[in-house]
């Protein structure tokens, strides 16, 4: 149950974060937005890592896994930002939100005692997220579908790999010690890709406040998923976190006046019943 709660905390944080992405990424540019979010989130994490981390006690293997996770997370974040910038949420969210299949498959391969009931619940979650996203009216056109699908396919599997690596790192060392190499690696990856793209990394000063909020939300989310690595069924945190697309739509309904129909609310209920059943 603790893994699920951490995953839901991550999902809520990323949902609010993604609402912000849709507002600022197109204006500021993908790379400037992502680097700003990662950098400001790292600055928020720094005092906690120094106060609560135990860097000297962490083995080299933990640092290697955390750094590798960060590199992949940088790619996942780039894919997410690009996909949300190009395509409608109803197209992007179901593809990215299917990554728990990879997370569960890896967990099964490494010996996690998963049952058919667990798999059924996961597919209900994925199906519910897909239904909510595809049936939502986000006001976006369906242009550039191919590019949006490509970046979604880059993002989803990358998230699954990054989560698995970060959780394996926190098995060897505490999550706050692992957070710094993770985030530094993510920043390095995005900056390297920005150089290859020959694009600007400098945001407008007036946008830094919202990037700071987004960076804090991203920090909370990845810290929650990573912390589940030392708990039973850590893959369930990744499953619960995948509902960020669903929660984004619900938040848009509550705070932005968008409408949800009865079948959509029924799908929301089914998703959370499925998530709750994983904790039984």
pLDDT tens, position by position, 193-210: 999 988 888 888 888 899
Contacts of 181 (CB under 8 A, 6+ apart): 63, 66, 67, 70
Handedness of CA 249, 255, 261, 267 (dihedral sign): positive
Mean pLDDT of the chain: 86
Spatial contact of 96 and 83, defined as CB atoms under 8 Å apart: yes
Q: What are the pLDDT digits (tens) for 38-79?
A: 999 999 999 999 999 888 889 999 999 999 999 999 999 999
What share of the chain has pLDDT > 90, as a percent?
Answer: 37
Quick check: 206 and 89 in contact, CB under 8 A? no
Q: Are 8 and 237 in contact (CB under 8 A)?
A: no
- Which range, of 7-21, 74-88, 195-209, 253-267, averages the lowest pLDDT? 253-267
The band of 28, judged by pLDDT with boundaries at 50, 70 and 90, is: confident
Asked if pLDDT for residue 178 goes beyond 80, the answer is yes
In this prediction, residues 86-93 reach a mean pLDDT of: 74
CB 15 within 8 A of CB 251: yes
> For the chain, how many structural domains are there in total?
1
Looking at the predicted structure, is the pLDDT value of residue 138 above 70? no
* Mean pLDDT within 214-221: 94
256 pLDDT tier (thresholds 50, 70, 90): low
3-class secondary-structure state, position 232: coil
- Residue 111's SS3 state is coil
What residue numbers bound the domain in which 62 lies?
2-278
Residue 172 has pLDDT above 90, yes or no: yes
């Amino acid at each position: 149950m603790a893994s699920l709660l951490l995953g839901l905390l991550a999902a809520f944080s990323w949902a609010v974060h993604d609402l912000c992405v849709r507002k600022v990424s197109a204006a500021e540019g993908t790379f400037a937005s992502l680097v700003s979010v990662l950098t400001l989130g790292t600055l928020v994490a720094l005092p906690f890592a120094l106060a609560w981390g135990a860097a000297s006690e962490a083995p080299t293997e933990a640092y290697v896994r955390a750094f590798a996770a960060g590199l992949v997370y940088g790619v996942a974040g780039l894919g997410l930002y690009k996909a949300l910038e190009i395509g409608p949420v109803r197209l992007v969210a179901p593809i990215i939100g299917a990554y728990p299949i990879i997370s569960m498959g890896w967990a099964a391969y490494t010996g996690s005692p998963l049952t058919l009931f667990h798999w059924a619940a996961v597919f209900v979650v994925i199906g519910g997220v897909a239904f909510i996203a595809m049936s939502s009216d986000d006001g976006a056109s369906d242009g550039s579908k191919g590019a949006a699908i490509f970046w979604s396919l880059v993002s989803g599997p990358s998230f699954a790999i990054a989560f698995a690596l970060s959780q394996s790192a926190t098995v060897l060392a505490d999550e706050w010690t692992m957070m710094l190499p993770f985030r530094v690696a993510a920043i390095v990856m995005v900056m390297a890709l920005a150089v290859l793209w020959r694009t600007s990394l400098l945001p407008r000063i007036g946008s830094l406040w919202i990037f700071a909020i987004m960076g804090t939300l991203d920090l909370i989310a990845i810290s929650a998923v990573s912390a589940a690595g030392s708990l039973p069924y850590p893959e369930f945190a990744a499953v619960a976190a995948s509902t960020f697309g669903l929660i984004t739509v619900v938040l848009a309904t509550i705070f932005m006046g968008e409408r949800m129909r009865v079948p959509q609310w029924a799908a929301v209920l089914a998703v959370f019943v499925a998530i709750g059943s994983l904790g039984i």
